[in-house]
Amino acid sequence: MGRLLAVLLGTLAVLAGLTAAPARAETAGTLAAPTFKAPYPCGQRWTYSHHSAEVRRALDFVRADGGTTAGTPVLASAAGTATRHYQAGGAGNYVVVDHGGGWKTYYFHLAAFSVANGAWVGQGQQIGTTGSTGNSSGAHIHYEQLYNGVGQNIRINGSALSYPGSYHQAYLTSDNGCGGGGGSFTTWGSGVRVRADAYLSSPVVTTLAGPTAVTVVCQKQGDTVSAEGYTNNWWSKLRDQGGFISNIYIDHPAAQLPGVPVC
């Protein structure tokens, strides 16, 4: 009897293990999901919609805060490895970010790429600009979240978005790239002008006499500046000087400063 009871208990344990395994796999898959953020810059308000003909659970985003959709930076909604692709009759220029654990995000119809193929990107880093390449009737961000190749209902900051059939029924304000951002850097050169905006025509608010320690709040693209054999169209917003300087005058080798959010 003792041996029989032991065999029965062992069999029950094996069966219990077999039934519990799928539940653990599902939990692991859920826990693997990054905390995705909106695919556009901090503070911007966009509206979104879903086309019922879409094979996967995509949402299309356009600006709804008075700004222009075309040309707006497209940001990685979570960290990962970015790859660049092109599909003439469909997605146009698009980026796929592999977040690991089976999770990927897709960003279609880009006007241009802002990241090298195969590069690691941080959450909030610009990967492209909003456009209308491929099969598209107007500038927008076509955005998808996939798990093991299967389209998922899109979640931002852990909350599921609705799937309206047209724009201006639902809205989302981004907090991507907002957090605490910026960093400490040193400028180089003398007589560096700090301007009210990221354009050479913007008024000068102050001038940096020589190398200066600065805190960069965020960065954005503006006029192209050339100096000492370098060319750059990224500009840094300085916390204490209340204006922008070209990133060409920041003592750092990267054109777009790492770890600094897009304005």
Q: Show me where the domains of the chain are located.
A: 45-173, 183-249
Amino acid 165: pLDDT: 95
- What is the mean pLDDT of each successive set of 10 residues along the chain, which is 263 residues long? 43 36 34 85 91 87 94 93 95 96 96 93 91 96 96 95 96 79 81 93 93 87 89 90 92 85 75
The Cα 195–Cα 247 span in angstroms is 12
Contact 75, 97 (CB under 8 A): no
Amino acid 150: pLDDT: 95
Instruction: State the number of CA atoms in the 13 A half-sphere of 179 facing the CB.
Output: 7
Phi, psi of 105 (to 5 degrees): -125, 150
The two structure tokens encoding residue 57: 């659970």
Contact 97, 80 (CB under 8 A): yes
Contact 185, 217 (CB under 8 A): no
What distance, in Å, lies between the first and last C-alpha atoms of the chain? 74
CB atoms within 10 A of CB 193: 17
| Phi-psi category of residue 134: left, alpha or beta, with phi > 0 → left and psi -120 to 50 → alpha | left
CB atoms within 10 A of CB 128: 25
How many residues does this entry show for the chain? Answer: 263
Instruction: State the number of CA atoms in the 13 A half-sphere of 130 facing the CB.
Output: 23
247: three-class secondary structure by DSSP: helix
CATH number 2.30.30 is the correct assignment for the domain at 183-249: yes
Residue type, 135: N
Amino acid 124: pLDDT: 87
Whether the CA torsion 90, 95, 97, 98 is positive or negative: it is positive
**CA-based radius of gyration for the chain:** 24
The Cα 66–Cα 42 span in angstroms is 15
One of 3.30.200.20, 2.70.70.10, 3.40.190.290, 3.40.50.620 is the CATH number of 45-173, namely 2.70.70.10
The two structure tokens encoding residue 96: 């796929």
The pTM assigned to this predicted structure is 0.61
